[in-house]
Amino acid sequence: MVDVDLLRRARDTVPPRLNAGLLFGEGGFCVLGWLLHVAGFHEITVFGNTIAVADPARGGAATHVVANTYGLPIEVVESLAQLNDRTPSAERVAAITARLDELLAQVSPA
């Protein structure tokens, strides 16, 4: 089951810049890193890693951790990460926010 409140909180607080390809890099978060941060993962668990969360209790492949944490299908998380990485930097936040809006519209009661 999708955690609508958590997904909405992530959408409402998307930072003004998102990285491509790094969960948490020197310039900030990518979309998966942001989703993990909003869900309460400490930055050290995602800093400098492109594919995994280093957390003994909840760690693993970033896409799987996000999917499990938010209750989203893995395919949705993978497509969100791909959208993040293929969208030009200047358009990335708008594209991610729009996609999160679409996801919320699909899972939220009207």
Provide the residue-wise pLDDT of the chain in tens; the chain has 110 residues: 999 999 999 999 999 999 987 767 767 889 999 999 999 887 777 776 778 788 888 888 999 999 999 999 999 999 999 999 999 999 999 999 999 999 999 997 75
For the whole model, what pTM was predicted?
A: 0.90
- Which H, E and C letters describe 16-70, residue by residue? CCCCCCCCEECCEECHHHHHHHHCCCCHHHCECCCCEECCCCCCEEHHHHHHHHH
Q: Are 80 and 31 in contact (CB under 8 A)?
A: yes
Q: Are 21 and 31 in contact (CB under 8 A)?
A: no
